[in-house]
Chain A
Amino acid sequence: MSLLATNIPEIQLENVEMRYRAEAAEVLALHQVSLDIAKGEFVSLLGPSGCGKTTLLRLMADLIAPTGGNIVVAGKSAKEARLAQKYGIVFQSPVLYDWRKVKHNITLPLELMGVKKSIREERALELLDLVGLQSFADKYPWQLSGGMQQRVAIARALSMEPEILLMDEPFSALDEFTRERLNEELLSVWSKVQNTIVFVTHSIPESIFLSDRVFVLSPHPGRLSAVVEIPLPRPRTAEMRNSPEFFELIASIRDSFEGV
Chain B
Amino acid sequence: METNSVREASFIGSSGKDMAQPALTATQKNAVAVPKPAEATASRGGSRMLKRIFSPGVLLPVLAGVLFLGLWEFEFFHKIFDLKKYQLPLPTAIATTMRDNFSMLLSYTGYTLTEAVLGMLVGSAIGFLIALAATAWPRWGSGSLTLVAALNAVPIVALAPIMNLWFGDGIGSRIAIVTATTMAAMAINAYKGMAAIDPLALDLMHSYAAGKPAVFRYLRIQSSLPYVFTALKINATASMIGAIVGEFFFSSKGLGYLLSNSIKVAKMPLGWSCIVLAAIAGVLFYLVVERLEKVFIKWHPSQRK
Contact = CB atoms under 8 A, between A and B. Distances in A.
Please tell me whether chains A and B touch each other in their complex, using a CB distance cut-off of 8 A: yes
Nearest to B296: A99
Given A95-B200, A98-B23, A145 B208 contact: no
Given A89-B204, A109-B208, A142-B304, A94 B26 contact: yes
A112 B218 CA distance: 9
B30 A178 contact: yes
B221 to A, nearest CB: 10
Contact of A145 (B30, B201, B222): B30
A149 B25 CA distance: 11
Contacts of A91: 200, 203-204
A83 B28 CA distance: 32
Interface stretch (A133-141, A231-239, A242-250): A133-141
A72 B66 CA distance: 76
Contacts of A62: 206-207
A182 B30 CA distance: 12
Interface in A112-165: 112-113, 136, 139-149
Interface string B198-222: 1011011011111000100011001
A95 B24 contact: yes
B297 interface: yes
Interface residues of A, number: 40
B294 interface: no
Given A99-B222, A143-B35, A145-B29, A63 B203 contact: yes
Nearest to A148: B33
A109 B207 CA distance: 10
Contacts of B218: 97, 108, 111-112
Interface residues of B, number: 34
B200 A146 contact: no
Given A98-B23, A112-B218, A93 B208 contact: no
Contacts of B203: 58, 63, 89, 91
A139 B38 CA distance: 11
B300 interface: yes
Given A93-B26, A95-B200, A98-B299, A144 B208 contact: no
Interface in B11-58: 23-36
A5 B222 CA distance: 44
A109 B210 CA distance: 9
A149 B207 CA distance: 19
B35 A93 contact: no
A39 to B, nearest CB: 20
Given A63-B203, A91-B203, A144-B33, A98 B300 contact: yes
A82 B30 contact: no
A236 to B, nearest CB: 23
B207 A63 contact: yes
Interface in B177-229: 198, 200-201, 203-204, 206-210, 214, 218-219, 222, 225
6 contacts: A62-B207, A98-B301, A113-B208, A139-B35, A141-B27, A142-B299
Interface of B: 23-36, 198, 200-201, 203-204, 206-210, 214, 218-219, 222, 225, 297, 299-301, 304
